[in-house]
Amino acid sequence: MRIAVIGTGYVGLVSGACFAEFGHEVTCIDNDEAKIARLEQREIPIYEPGLDVLVKKNLEANRLVFSTGYSPGVPEAEVVFIAVGTPASRRGDGYADLSFVYDAARQLAPFLSDYTVVVNKSTVPVGTARQVARIMSEANPTATFDVASNPEFLREGAAINDFMHPDRVVIGVDSTRAEEVLKAVYRPLYLIETPFVITSIETAELTKYAANAFLATKISFINEVANICEEIGADVQDVAKGMGLDGRIGKKFLHAGPGYGGSCFPKDTHALLRIAQENGVTCRIVEAVVEVNAAQKARMARKIRKALGGDEGGKTIAVLGLAFKPETDDLRDAPALTILSTLLEHGARLRAHDPQAMPEAAKVLPGVKYCSSPYEACEGADAVVLLTEWNEYRALDLMRIKQSLKQPIFIDLRNVYRPKAMAQLGFAYHSVGRVKVG
């Protein structure tokens, strides 16, 4: 099949490369000329494991091409995916800024030739697909097309695998013709027995928000349980295990930590609250989830202060990990942003390391000294804070860390290490939802 993907951001590029890997002929379109020029040179603008190999392979096989214009690409395509960004609105009111989606719809419409299915892959509020259809009909009254919604559930850092082996594919359509076209796009997944949820457009749009808000709920829930554990001397890791082995609960997303971040959960929880509010209903659980997440980040700064004896002013703190999670250079809404800013405001000196996110971090957190290794970051510091659980921090030379530090204070906000073992090594070890040792 011939497919066009508009937007070569995270979702668009991963989807385009994976559709090409399915065997389709894919044109990835972006109006950023510099980005397209780099992609044609096989330079990948984001860090995502496996993406470079996939792009290179499919470029060489001529199944994947990049373009700055809609033609060639859109006129030949049977399916056009809109995968442009939907950032939070600058008004700060919880709305997503849909101008890129609507611009793409307006601009692509005149290029449609035969019947085309236009699919929203960007995460958009309920009702956006209908709005896209209206805009396209106005821009090209003679075009024959259907609009569909096909939300993505990709995790950064595991996006290729998630695309190739999804738990499910959700497709919102209101015509059997569009349904058949989209089933054909995803035919390779039928072979591996992926479940398909074929439903109405509005249901598909809401499913994405409900799924992300529920995952965020699990995280805020376990973070509050962790806080109770700290007070009563229980161990949240074991509580999570004991809960998660119940198949109705499930063991994933019950890892206590510094609060969730990233481009999806913060944005999507707020967007779900807006959708509820606009429709005259409440979503009080999600309201609490958002509040608990903000409180968790604030609590982490207090935890660090307490570990340093009640005042971080004038102290040097080593920070390991800045990205909102491992295997990404993404800092959007990362807990590091809030926690580090608080520490800086209180007069702490920060020495940070992250395997991927330091160039981005230097732009938004200028007062921090960026170091080339975790050991360099710990050199002469009063304490070390493990903030993102990169694999390289799971296998630290702990004796070397201890020797580099001025005081052996280890604050592990991802519960990577075992309290007893850390105490034996002579650390004062603080973690989340477990008893402080040493």
User: Which residues contact ligand UDX (rule: CB under 6 A)?
Assistant: 152-156, 212, 215, 219, 253-255, 257, 260-262, 264-265, 324-325
CB closer to ligand UDX, 134 vs 165: 165
Residue 153 assigned ligand-binding role: yes
In degrees, to the nearest 5, what angle opens at C-alpha 248 toward C-alphas 242 and 249? Answer: 50
State the minimum distance, in angstroms, from the CB of residue 137 to ligand UDX: 30
CB closer to ligand UDX, 327 vs 382: 327
State the pairing for strand pair 349-353/409-412: unpaired
Residue 376 assigned ligand-binding role: no
Residue 208 assigned ligand-binding role: yes
Report the candidate in 297, 223, 213, 293 with the shortest Cα–Cα distance to residue 255: 223
State the minimum distance, in angstroms, from the CB of residue 235 to ligand UDX: 16
Are the beta carbons of 88 and 94 closer than 8 angstroms?
yes
CB closer to ligand UDX, 299 vs 325: 325
State the pairing for strand pair 64-67/79-82: unpaired
CB closer to ligand UDX, 70 vs 221: 221
Instruction: Give the integer Cα–Cα distance in Å for 63 and 367.
Output: 46
Residue 145 assigned ligand-binding role: no
Instruction: Give the integer Cα–Cα distance in Å for 303 and 232.
Output: 16
SS3 for 62?
Answer: coil
Active-site option among 18, 28, 229, 264? 264
State the minimum distance, in angstroms, from the CB of residue 194 to ligand UDX: 15
Report the candidate in 210, 51, 83 with the shortest Cα–Cα distance to residue 152: 83
CB closer to ligand UDX, 264 vs 358: 264
Q: Which residue is nearest to ligand UDX (CB)?
A: 264
Secondary structure element (H or E) that encloses residue 428, with its range: strand 428-430
Query: How many helices, marked H, and strands, marked E, lie in the chain?
Result: 18, 14
Residue 27 assigned ligand-binding role: no
State the minimum distance, in angstroms, from the CB of residue 268 to ligand UDX: 7
Instruction: Give the integer Cα–Cα distance in Å for 291 and 124.
Output: 23
Are the beta carbons of 70 and 29 closer than 8 angstroms?
yes
Residue 177 assigned ligand-binding role: no
State the minimum distance, in angstroms, from the CB of residue 343 to ligand UDX: 19
State the minimum distance, in angstroms, from the CB of residue 287 to ligand UDX: 18
**Which 8-state DSSP code applies to residue 96?**
B
Written as one letter, the residue type at 57 is K
Residue 59 assigned ligand-binding role: no
Residue 144 assigned ligand-binding role: no
SS3 for 385?
Answer: strand
Instruction: Give the integer Cα–Cα distance in Å for 258 and 244.
Output: 20
For the chain, the straight-line distance linking the first and the last C-alpha, in angstroms and rounded, comes to 62
CB closer to ligand UDX, 148 vs 219: 219
CB closer to ligand UDX, 318 vs 331: 331
- Establish whether the linkage from the previous residue to 72 is cis, with ω within 30° of 0: yes
Helices (H), 258-283: 265-278
Are the beta carbons of 151 and 121 closer than 8 angstroms?
yes
Beta carbons within 10 angstroms of residue 347's beta carbon = 11
Secondary structure element (H or E) that encloses residue 369, with its range: strand 369-370
Residue 267 assigned ligand-binding role: yes
Tokens 């209206």 sit at which residue? 134
Instruction: Based on the residue annotation, tell me whether 18 is a catalytic residue of this protein.
Output: no
State the minimum distance, in angstroms, from the CB of residue 177 to ligand UDX: 28
Task: Cite the active site residues.
Answer: 264
Positions at the binding site: 30, 35, 86, 123, 153-156, 208, 253-257, 261, 267, 325, 332
Positions at the binding site for NAD(+): 30, 35, 86, 123, 156, 267, 332
Positions at the binding site for substrate: 153-156, 208, 253-257, 261, 325
